[in-house]
Amino acid sequence: MTLIEKKDEIEQKVLRYLQSEDIAKGAKLLIAFSGGPDSTALLHILKDLRTNFPLTLCCLYVDHGIRRGHEIEGEIDFIIRTCRALSVKFIIERIPPGELRAAARNSGQSLEHIARRKRYEFLYRCAEHEGCRYIALGHTANDHLETLIMRFFQGSDFSGLTGIPRRRGKIIRPIFFCSRDEVLQYLGSREIDFKIDSTNRSEEYLRNKVRHRLIPVLNEVFPGFGQSLFSLSEKMREVKSLVDEEASRLAWQEVAGGFRLDFKEFLRCHGVVRIYTLFQLHNRLINNEGKRVPYRFFSKVLTDDFRQGKRVILRGYGIRLLHKGRYLFLKRDVVCQYKKGYLIVIKENREYMLEDFSFRFFRGKGEYATKSQAGQIALPQQQVKEPLVIRSRKPGDRLVLKGGSKSVKRLFSEWAVPDELRCRIPVLADRQGVLAVIGGVFGYKDRIRSGMENRSMMNMIIEYYRAEER
């Protein structure tokens, strides 16, 4: 087969993908364009399809602030030249150097995961701003294979072993069925230039270790293993479809702080469905992306002890599973341990239940919020940089007061707060830092950042209830 024929074959694969996913002709796509071989090939292929399958294209490049110097500037110059040559609009976003590494250190999550999450935030925001109906990523069959290998050795269940989805909502992957070799042959046949990210060779990232060290060994020991893993992912996709269907029949009801289900109904379903639905609900309740809950945690619902209906069945990883009356409840639950602490990203009109208090966030109209019997903190909306979080104190926390900045540690000392209570007093914070210390939960004062006392016509309100008031 000639290179030209190979080029035509890859274009036909992309065309079949677009048709199979019901992508409308003329739709506007945002391409995640890094300048690497995969995204470069994706951009050129979609542009070449304009005769048979016209699309409106826009590109987004994200500088993660991980690499510096000539490499990044050369990459950006390449992005600009390529997009201008193809008459494609482009957007460039930059993250300040060191920001993602600091976030990775503070969260305990990998730099790879933090960078991916930030990139997706930019993609969704840019797609909305530009009116793009779809976000096109340059994931290939090789990326799918590498993901399957990583998830297998990380102990994923059938859901994880489906691999990278061909499509998820607005996210589409037009070269999903193309191998990396096919991509490189396409670029070579067209003499299309591309850039190589130096971090692709760094073994700081798990995917690179798998790509450069593990896969060559697997190819030597199990030639053709890739096709077997692809077959496995298809089988797991069918298993997931079956379990999804069974799980959807469970009539979980949303209640304050979580969900409930008839206990006998839960007992009647298969153990796999029990665990799977608990994982799903946990993901809905807890903003815990990147930190996995081990299978053994939920596997207790398979034991005879579980059938006996102990009141508190499970507690940990931010949730509490309990049996009360005829119902099984899955609710938020943060155990305030001094070393671990807690952090909850709060959303509007939802109730959150902690060990010592519950709270909810809403917006109230009027110059001042109506004071209820519960404790309440109102903040000027214009001065708050969301997201809002409720968390335990951290070393270095400071609150700006009229007399100047004061450390939260010193504030607790002035209040004579016992050591065992200091991690439990909630701190309200946004992107700028500490907004308030909610001492009222334990009978102390509520202290709010200076300048927040002048209420606007639209207030952001945190209303809290002590445990004995619930």
Residue 183 lies in a domain: yes
Same-domain pairing of 118 and 22:
yes
Same-domain pairing of 399 and 444:
yes
Q: Identify the domain boundary among 281, 313, 332.
A: 332
State the pairing for strand pair 134-136/171-172. Answer: parallel
Same-domain pairing of 322 and 372:
no
* 254, 377, 422, 426, 442 from 356: Cα distances, Å: 22, 17, 13, 10, 9
Instruction: Domain of residue 71: give its range.
Output: 3-138+173-201
Q: What are phi and psi of 50, to 5 degrees?
A: -60, -25
pLDDT in tens, the chain (470 residues): 444 444 578 999 999 999 999 999 999 999 999 999 999 999 999 999 988 899 999 999 999 988 877 889 999 999 999 999 999 999 999 999 888 888 887 766 788 888 898 999 999 999 999 999 999 999 999 999 999 999 999 888 899 999 999 999 999 999 999 999 999 999 999 999 999 888 777 777 788 899 999 999 999 999 989 999 999 999 999 999 999 999 999 999 998 888 999 999 999 999 999 999 999 999 888 755 445 678 888 888 888 777 765 677 887 777 888 888 899 999 886 544 434 577 888 877 777 766 667 787 877 665 444 444 467 888 887 788 888 888 888 888 999 988 788 899 989 888 888 777 788 889 999 888 899 999 888 888 888 988 876 555 567 888 887 654 43
Same-domain pairing of 7 and 103:
yes
Residue 272 lies in a domain: yes
Same-domain pairing of 67 and 190:
yes
Same-domain pairing of 63 and 195:
yes
